[in-house]
Amino acid sequence: MKIGIDVDSGERPFYELVEGVLQSSLIYTDSVFFVIGDSSRIRSFFSQISEVDNIVLVDAKDVIGMDESPIIGVKRKKNSTIVTGVNLLKNKTIDILFSPGNTGATVAASVLGLGLYPGLRKPCMGSFFPRMEQGETFILDVGANPEAREDYLYHNSILGTAFYKNIFDVKVPKIGLLSVGTEFGKGSGVIKKAFSYLSGIDGFIGNVEPYNIIDGSVDVVVCDGFTGNTVIKVAESLKKLFSHKFKNYMSGSVDGSFAKKMILNPLKKMIVGSRNISELTESMLPVYYGAAPLLGVMGGVLVGHGMSGKNDVINAIEFALFMYERGTQRSIFSEWKKNK
């Protein structure tokens, strides 16, 4: 696999992301890693990097900022990391691109540079969500396109189902339409119209509610990008809230008795060291927004969280390799053509 990693447009310093690439390059020696960013800065920080066989530095001096207008940024900054990355994808230098930058810019650059599937109006972006028991639920759109339209939701369903089939080897994934109640007729006008559109899809189980995302009753949950983005961000916020409240709880006394406190505190630390509580909640409630596949564009794009650091890069690379080996992109495209 040849993968491009945009190390300069995220919110964390470039060297954290480069470290992730370096580590992965040692494990996946058959893959080639194209590090997209300010090459001279990267080289001066990692003096030996030019000698790593399977790392290629691709110089891109510009960055599209998080608050910049995506379309204007993409059109004006031809030498930005994201436009450079998309060009590498377009001319087949790389198979997959990972960028933790401005999501809108990544989406715009991909649509403008690679083009959409024939017949598709808008791309979408999916994310995995943890469940109570085994498995994971795939939710989309989580932010490529905030507007809800019934045909967009229908397209999201086809793309999401195709992705799930390929990734999890499930023949007919159960697909649900996120709404405010499971009964037909619940929700906004768009949701009601989308319900009819989706009825023709194998595996469509009707409306679902947020609880169904975690209870294992559905594999693919479809919604507009505004709602999906909210779901993911509420989940991330709740994790932080829980970590915080739990730290407070664990650093306080169990029952107010001083003696008990003295006895229990060291043990509390052993069980859930206060430093590790964030890691604990993270491991219990993973939300892989870290590498959300952008579906519907003619190329493999993984959209990273702005806060992506070393481990997120490593995970994204692993996920990219998994997709590459399963031929996920080709498989989704052929399902799309069948369904249109």
Minimum CB distance to its own copies, residue 52 (Å): 36
Provide, rounded to whole angstroms, the least separation between the CB of residue 316 and its own copies. 21
Kindly state the helix (H) or strand (E) to which residue 160 belongs, with its residue range.
helix 150-168
213 belongs to the binding site for its own copies (CB under 8 A): yes
Choose the binding region for its own copies from 17-25, 88-96, 165-173, 185-193 (rule: CB under 8 A). Answer: 185-193
In the bound state with its own copies, the residue whose beta carbon lies nearer, of 273 and 327, is 273
Among 42, 60, 124, 148, binds its own copies (CB under 8 A): 148
Stretch that binds its own copies, among 39-47, 86-94, 207-215, 288-296 (CB under 8 A): 207-215
2-6, strands of its sheet edge to edge? 55-59, 32-37, 2-6, 96-99, 300-303, 292-295, 124-130, 136-140, 220-222, 175-178, 204-208
Q: Is 270 in the site for its own copies (CB under 8 A)?
A: yes
Instruction: Catalogue the long-range contacts made by 70-79 (C-beta closer than 8 Å, 24 or more residues apart).
Output: 70/102, 70/104, 70/105, 70/107, 70/108, 70/109, 71/108, 73/102, 73/105, 73/108, 74/105, 74/108, 74/109, 74/112
CA distances to 111, 176, 203, 234, 318 from 219, rounded to whole Å, are 27, 8, 9, 20, 22
| Position 231 contacts its own copies (CB under 8 A) | yes
Residues 38-77, mask of contacts with its own copies (x by CB under 8 A)? -----------------------------x-x--------
Cα(63)–Cα(61) distance, integer angstroms: 7
244 binds its own copies (CB under 8 A): yes
Q: Which is nearer to its own copies, 205 or 214 (CB)?
A: 214
- Residue 58 or 148: the one with the smaller Cβ distance to its own copies is 148
Rank residues 168 and 211 by Cβ distance to its own copies and give the closer one.
211
Q: Is 241 in the site for its own copies (CB under 8 A)?
A: yes
Strands 300-303, 96-99: pairing is: parallel
CA–CA distance, 257 with 236 (Å, rounded to integer)? 34
To its own copies, the closest distance from the beta carbon of 237 in angstroms equals 5
Confirm or reject binding of residue 183 to its own copies (CB under 8 A): yes
Distance CA 28, CA 17 (A): 16
Helices (H), 199-298: 210-215, 225-251, 258-272, 277-284
Task: Determine the Cα angle at 290 with ends 311 and 4, to 5°.
Answer: 75
Is the CB of residue 81 less than 8 Å from the CB of residue 63?
Answer: yes
Residue 79-108 contact track with its own copies, rule CB under 8 A, x = bound? ------------------------------
Site string for its own copies, 104-133 (x = CB under 8 A): --------------------------xxx-
The footprint of its own copies (CB under 8 A) covers 67, 69, 130-132, 143, 146-148, 178-180, 183, 185-189, 191, 209-211, 213-214, 225-227, 229-231, 233-242, 244-246, 249, 254, 264, 267-268, 270-271, 280-281, 284-285
